[in-house]
């Protein structure tokens, strides 16, 4: 095989690898973007639930710890 054919073969192999790597990077980017959207949605939902919980309060528990009686 001539040197030119060898270089062409190596170049073709590198181009194929780069094409697969580009596709993989695009897939990973799409996955990360979807995960980030889900994390953002869940964070907002958690903040809303926290606000609602604080508005409702805890009916069975006192709001603040009671001070011990003076005889302690």
Report pLDDT for 68. 79
Give domain status of residue 43, yes or no. yes
57 contacts: CB under 8 Å, gap ≥ 6: 63
Give domain status of residue 28, yes or no. yes
Confidence of residue 61 (pLDDT cuts 50, 70, 90): low
Give domain status of residue 37, yes or no. yes
Give domain status of residue 17, yes or no. no
Task: Write down the pTM of the prediction.
Answer: 0.59
Give domain status of residue 70, yes or no. no
Domain span at 49 = 24-56
Give domain status of residue 72, yes or no. no
H helices within the chain, ranges in order? Answer: 3-56
Give domain status of residue 38, yes or no. yes
Work out how many domains the chain is built from and give that number: 1
pLDDT tens, position by position, 6-48: 999 999 999 999 999 999 999 999 999 999 999 999 999 999 9
C-alpha distances (whole Å) from 46 to each of 39, 41, 49, 56, 58 are 10, 9, 5, 15, 18
Give domain status of residue 39, yes or no. yes
């Amino acid at each position: 095989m001539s040197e030119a054919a060898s270089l062409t073969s190596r170049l073709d192999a590198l181009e194929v690898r780069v094409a697969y790597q580009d596709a993989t990077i695009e897939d990973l980017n799409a996955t990360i973007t979807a995960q980030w959207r889900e994390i953002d949605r869940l964070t907002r939902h958690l903040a809303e639930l926290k606000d609602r919980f604080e508005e409702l309060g805890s009916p069975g528990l006192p709001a603040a710890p009671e001070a011990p009686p003076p005889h302690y």
